[in-house]
Amino acid sequence: MRTLPLFLLLISASLPAFADRDDDRGKPFDRLQEQIDKLRQRIQTLEAASPAGQICPPGEFVTGFNSAGAILCATPTAGTPTPPPPPAPIPASFQLALQQAFNQFAGQGLPVPPNPPLTQTSGQLTVTTQALSYDLAIGAVQMTQSSASAAAIQIIVPNIAVNLAATTTLNGVTRSGTVTISSGATVTINVTVVTTPGGTRRLASVTAIDLVPGPLSATGSDPNIVSIFQQAITVSPQIAQFLASNGEQLLSAAMDQFQVLASLPDF
């Protein structure tokens, strides 16, 4: 036995609804008026429920009652919060102290925390590296305060470099030497700010350090090893991520070592 296609069954099932539409003409407006009348009754019920029979002024609506039973009214914009005033500017004397605190991080051949060798293999190439030391130059340091409790320290880094011991094996030939991966960078250090009982501000803690390197370059003792690293820099973002991650860890360790936040004055 043949059956009707599905869409014909759907159409036939909906025909009674279409047939009744003529009887419903004009009813949507009647239903809307009924809803408006019910809303008015609800408002009147809320207002009458107040012990004093209070009524909201024109243009306002009932939101409820307080603990004393008084009616609460509001306008559509009554709940809009007033934005807090912007923080006061950072004093020049504090900016200078901040610059001096970070200037002491700069140097060459600076020690790195103990780290195990890392080995990566790609096809016929195997590379093993281990960080030996790092170089760091500090440029302009500036702090901005976005709210009463948060600020950001921006640092221009003309040069950050990680000095590596490197061993490469390519097509069965092994070479060893040192390689320096270097770049300029911008650093953002997010910090919390607290207000002292005396009304001054103080940096309390570091919440995040973000180092964004610029273009990378490779130099070293063996041209063949340098060539491998230079090619890796151009095709893989992992080298930049490695430099950024190590740079962030080094800055964090340096801030702890020099107790930067504790050494800064209130402002």
pLDDT attached to residue 49: 60
Q: Which DSSP string corresponds to 90-136?
A: PPHHHHHHHHHHHHTT-EEEEE------EEEEETTEEEEEEEEEEEE
Residue with tokens 């340096």: 254
Residue 16: predicted pLDDT: 43
> pLDDT at position 53, please?
61
Q: Give me the phi and psi of 208, to 5 degrees please.
A: -165, 150
pLDDT (0 to 100) of residue 41: 77
pLDDT at site 72? 77
Tell me the C-alpha to C-alpha distance, in Å, between residue 247 and each of 46, 72, 73, 81, 114. 63, 56, 56, 41, 14
CB neighbours of 196 closer than 8 A, spacing ≥ 6?
Answer: 202, 266
State both tokens at 184. 């300029």
Nearest-angstrom CA–CA distance, 52 and 48:
8
> Whole-angstrom Cα distance, residue 60 to residue 214?
57
Q: What is the pLDDT of residue 18?
A: 40
* Ranges of the chain whose pLDDT falls below 70: 1-29, 43, 46-53, 67-69, 76-82
What pLDDT, on the 0 to 100 scale, is given for residue 89?
94
Mean pLDDT taken over the chain: 83
**Dihedral of the CA atoms 137, 249, 149, 92 (nearest 10)?**
-10
- Name all domains of the chain by residue range, CATH numbers in brackets: 18-74 (no CATH), 92-263 (3.15.10.10)
Across 137-154, b (16+ Cβ under 10 Å) vs e yields bbbebebebeeeeebbbe
SS3 for 153?
Answer: strand
Structure confidence at residue 211 (pLDDT):
96
